[in-house]
């Protein structure tokens, strides 16, 4: 695993080094018996899932987003998840979310906008199960700055947290949702994968041809512009295979038989 960029908060897990910025990729070594399966980055913290399903975090801990008692400049295991096999993690600005092998969702850290999905707005020091999703088998999660989405194995998409910019796609004027709610406008459309930027979100259907976006920003697609706080259908002649979201930029990747093309949105 390699990391680079800002390291003031220990988010690269390199320990107490003097450099505040790492300008080129630097390797972060685990023990030989441990392999990294996935990594997720928040604003100033990092979470890693290993091949044995354990979660390690490092970086800023002002809102308990590490699941530890103190900030860490080296990756340290999240003891509150050690009894579970974790498949997926995601990080927001100052909160973290994880999904275990049974599809249970855990969250911890900042909760100002209800982004932990607990029905309250209190910060959580350690991971806790989101009870609203207890009967769902969640297979994907994604976090924006202060919002989250969860995709179930049946293709149903839930969202919660900050909604000041319509990033939850619920079609309501509420500025936040404290518990996960299904996105009704996507009912009947099986979703394949999801991604969140700071204050916007994308979802791609299993057909790969239909992309839906809910955002506070104008969206430019093949020269067209639109603006919405609910789900908007984006028609594409290319099957979307993956997408990546930043804050606020986005990129969709489409694959054809002859070549690979990317389209900036």
pLDDT in tens, 26-68: 998 877 678 999 999 999 999 999 999 999 999 999 999 999 8
Which pair of tokens denotes residue 258? Answer: 């002859």
Asked whether residue 160 carries a pLDDT value surpassing 80, the answer given is yes
Q: How far is CA 174 from CA 24, 69, 130, 168, 177, in A?
A: 43, 33, 21, 10, 7
Mean pLDDT over each residue of the chain, to the nearest integer? 83
Average pLDDT, stretch 110-124? Answer: 97
What's the CATH architecture for 2-264?
Answer: 7 Propeller (2.130)
Give the model's confidence band at 220: pLDDT under 50 very low, under 70 low, under 90 confident, else very high.
very low
Average pLDDT, stretch 241-258? Answer: 43
Residue with tokens 């390291």: 7
Asked whether residue 233 carries a pLDDT value surpassing 90, the answer given is no
Q: Give the model's pLDDT for residue 32.
A: 62
Cα-based angle 237, 240, 245 (whole degrees, multiple of 5): 125
Residue with tokens 């498949």: 87
Asked whether residue 258 carries a pLDDT value surpassing 80, the answer given is no
Range with the largest mean pLDDT of 30-44, 209-223, 227-241: 30-44
Which pair of tokens denotes residue 257? Answer: 């038989």
Asked whether residue 152 carries a pLDDT value surpassing 50, the answer given is yes
- Greater pLDDT, 219 or 4: 4
Q: What is the arrangement of strands in the sheet containing 250-255, beginning at the earlier edge strand?
A: 240-245, 250-255, 260-264
Least trusted range by pLDDT, from 62-76, 91-105, 180-194, 245-259:
245-259
| Count of alpha carbons within 13 angstroms of residue 207, beta-carbon side | 10
DSSP state of 239: -
Q: How far is CA 222 from CA 68, 201, 250, 254, 259, in A?
A: 46, 19, 14, 14, 19
Q: How far is CA 220 from CA 234, 247, 248, 250, 255, in A?
A: 10, 15, 12, 10, 20
Do residues 152 and 119 lie in contact, with contact meaning Cβ atoms separated by under 8 Å?
no
Q: Give the model's pLDDT for residue 7.
A: 94
Q: How far is CA 160 from CA 21, 151, 170, 194, in A?
A: 34, 12, 9, 14
Asked whether residue 211 carries a pLDDT value surpassing 90, the answer given is no
Average pLDDT, stretch 147-174? Answer: 94
- pTM: predicted TM-score of the whole model, two decimal places: 0.82
Give the model's confidence band at 189: pLDDT under 50 very low, under 70 low, under 90 confident, else very high.
confident
| Residue among 229, 214, 219 nearest 265 (CA) | 219
Asked whether residue 218 carries a pLDDT value surpassing 70, the answer given is no
For 194, phi then psi, to 5°, come to -135, 160
Give the model's confidence band at 110: pLDDT under 50 very low, under 70 low, under 90 confident, else very high.
very high
Asked whether residue 93 carries a pLDDT value surpassing 60, the answer given is yes
- Greater pLDDT, 10 or 18: 10
Cα–Cα distance, 122 to 138 (Å, whole number): 24
Give the model's confidence band at 257: pLDDT under 50 very low, under 70 low, under 90 confident, else very high.
very low
Residues 6+ apart with CB under 8 A from 218: 225, 226, 227
Q: Give the model's pLDDT for residue 202.
A: 86
In sequence order, what DSSP letters do the residues of 46-102 get, joined into one string? EEEEETTS-EEEEE--TTSTTSSSS-EEEEEE-GGGTTS-EEEEEE-SSEEEEEETT
Cα-based angle 193, 199, 200 (whole degrees, multiple of 5): 35
């Amino acid at each position: 695993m390699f990391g680079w960029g800002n390291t003031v908060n220990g988010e690269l897990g390199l320990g107490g080094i003097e450099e505040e910025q790492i300008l080129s990729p630097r390797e972060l070594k685990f023990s030989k018996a441990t392999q990294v399966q996935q990594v997720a980055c928040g604003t100033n913290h990092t979470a890693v899932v290993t091949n044995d399903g354990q979660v390690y975090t490092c970086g800023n801990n002002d809102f308990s987003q590490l699941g530890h008692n103190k900030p860490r400049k080296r990756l340290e295991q999240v003891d509150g998840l050690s009894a579970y096999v974790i498949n997926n993690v995601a990080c927001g600005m100052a909160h973290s979310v994880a999904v275990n092998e049974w599809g249970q969702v855990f969250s911890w850290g900042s909760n100002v906008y209800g982004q932990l999905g607990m029905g309250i707005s209190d910060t959580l020091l350690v991971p806790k199960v989101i009870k609203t999703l207890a009967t769902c088998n969640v297979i994907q999660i994604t976090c924006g700055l202060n919002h989250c989405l969860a995709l179930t194995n049946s293709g149903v998409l839930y969202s919660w947290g900050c909604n000041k910019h319509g990033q939850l796609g619920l079609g309501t004027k509420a500025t936040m949702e404290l518990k996960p709610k299904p996105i009704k406008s996507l009912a009947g459309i099986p979703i394949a994968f999801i991604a969140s930027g700071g204050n916007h979100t994308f979802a791609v259907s299993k057909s790969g041809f239909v992309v839906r976006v809910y955002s506070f920003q104008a969206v430019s697609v093949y020269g067209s512009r639109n603006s919405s706080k609910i789900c908007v259908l984006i028609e594409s002649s290319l099957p979307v295979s993956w997408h990546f979201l930043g804050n606020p930029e986005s990129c969709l990747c489409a694959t054809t038989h002859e070549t690979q093309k990317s389209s900036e949105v």
